[in-house]
Amino acid sequence: MKVSAILSYKFKNIGSFGHEGAEVCFTTSTRDPKKELFREICGKNVNLVTAVMGANASGKTTLLKPIPFLSWFFSTIHSSLNEDILIQANKANLEAIEIEVVFIIDGITYKYNVRHFEDCILSENLYHKNENNIYTYIFKRNIDPDSFGEHIELLNDESLSREEQLKVIKYDYTEKHSIFQLGKKEGLRTPCNTSIIASARRLGVELATKIAVFFATGNFNITAWGRLPTAYDDLEEKLGILYKNKEIFNNVRKTLCQWDLGLSDIEIEEFKSKNDKGVEEVHYNFFGVHKNKDNEFSLPLYMESAGTQGALSRLVDIFMTLRSGTYAFIDELGDDLHPNMIKPLIDLFIDKSTNPHGAQLVFSCHKPELINYLGKQRVYLCSKIDNESECYRIDDFPASDARSDENLAAKYLAGAFGGVPEL
């Protein structure tokens, strides 16, 4: 039985989301009629698939960023105080970024929150639910207000470097040592731009390592700064995964050949070459096998269509996620793919035979027809008013306005729920 999942997250002051922020919840009620679309994990009905829709530039990509950011944040030890905490703040206000995530690891529910500016953390806390179902702290880290005030005063001192300005920042730190064995001394000396979890992971603290690994094993096509382009180097990395993992390779090959892409088979070859410095490197070539009546020929990856390249990239991410039982956050799932290919990708997460571990898929798209298929409990809409984004799940509307037996996709396109462009 799977005992790990992301239950929810919320944030403020990231990108186009301001002080009102946004909250994304992956749980649903027992009254949800689409039983196949969620699994029970530690007493919570956790959605297997969640879609994000809305007009262009409404904040869909930003809504997906906090989890990839935490994946980076929990695994990064900065080499100096000059390095920023890499997530784009809301430029319309000067308030701190706030992020909170609730997740389950090994059957225990945790809540983590952090407040920070681009150069320093203001507060960072980790809690877990005890046997009485009450959150109790594991560690608390809060900036000393006097030292932060001194830092603000020093910002105008041009004779000081940025690192010298930041070195004055001090913290209060408390932990439950029986659960989290970082130690007060190490907690206090953790740099102002580094997470306690990252610091503790580096020193081998078991719980910190579990959390960092849980967030690092997610699959993303976005970072805290936006969607990653599909570069050939990235595709070659995925070819290496396919070459080394026969199970994922066979699943990807089967799916690609089932789809109408003109492929009858795929082949991957490993070869070695020396770089400009004379160091030997391992590379991979992909060949798509095509048949035309009695003729058979192969094409290298760079000669395949954008649709085939996009499908290959998505399928590697998805089958890695299904194999590990973790989660995937994919921006524009339908990019370069025919609309008819999206539902089969989603079905891989719904089918217990392909998703035995309860992996989660979270994606953005422009496919309103999926609303009826997924149901109102698994679709978030983004809107932007006065250049500030907001989001809401369709089941946030009164039941009389969003009945499960209605054509919710048609109502969405008619503007009943917002999240559509005003033309």
Q: How many CA atoms lie within 13 A of 305 on its CB side?
A: 13
Q: What is the share, in percent, of the chain residues with pLDDT greater than 90? A: 82
> DSSP states of 287-324 as a string?
EEEEEETTEEEEEEGGGS-HHHHHHHHHHHHHHHHHHH
pLDDT in the model for residue 231? 61
pLDDT at 1 over 60: no
pLDDT, tens digit (0-9, with 9 covering 90-100), for 387-413: 999 999 999 999 889 998 899 999 999
pLDDT, tens digit (0-9, with 9 covering 90-100), for 252-285: 999 999 886 789 999 999 999 998 888 999 999 9
pLDDT in the model for residue 310? 83
Rounded-to-integer distance, Cα 208 and Cα 197, Å: 5
pLDDT, tens digit (0-9, with 9 covering 90-100), for 319-372: 999 999 999 999 999 776 777 888 999 999 999 999 999 999 999 999 999 999
Environment class of 86 (CB within 10 Å of its CB; exposed 0-12, middle 13-18, buried 19+):
middle
Cβ neighbors of 1 (< 8 A, separation 6 or more) are none
pLDDT band at 309 (very low <50, low <70, confident <90, very high): confident
pLDDT in the model for residue 128? 98
If one compares 259 and 301, the residue with the highest pLDDT of the two is 301
pLDDT in the model for residue 423? 66
pLDDT, tens digit (0-9, with 9 covering 90-100), for 201-238: 999 999 999 999 999 999 999 998 888 776 666 788 89
Average pLDDT over residues 54-75: 97
pLDDT in the model for residue 335? 77
pLDDT at 58 over 60: yes
pLDDT band at 40 (very low <50, low <70, confident <90, very high): very high
Average pLDDT over residues 240-252: 95
pLDDT in the model for residue 2? 61
Average pLDDT over residues 107-117: 97
Average pLDDT over residues 286-301: 90
pLDDT averaged over every residue in the chain: 93
pLDDT in the model for residue 233? 64
Rounded-to-integer distance, Cα 287 and Cα 289, Å: 6
Instruction: Enter the tokens of residue 155.
Output: 């910002």
Helix, coil or strand: residue 221: coil
Average pLDDT over residues 147-173: 93
pLDDT band at 81 (very low <50, low <70, confident <90, very high): very high
Scanning 219-369, the segments in alpha helix (DSSP H) are 232-244, 246-258, 306-324, 342-350
pLDDT in the model for residue 235? 84
Residue 257 phi/psi, 5-degree rounding, is -75, -25
Whole-model pTM: value is 0.93
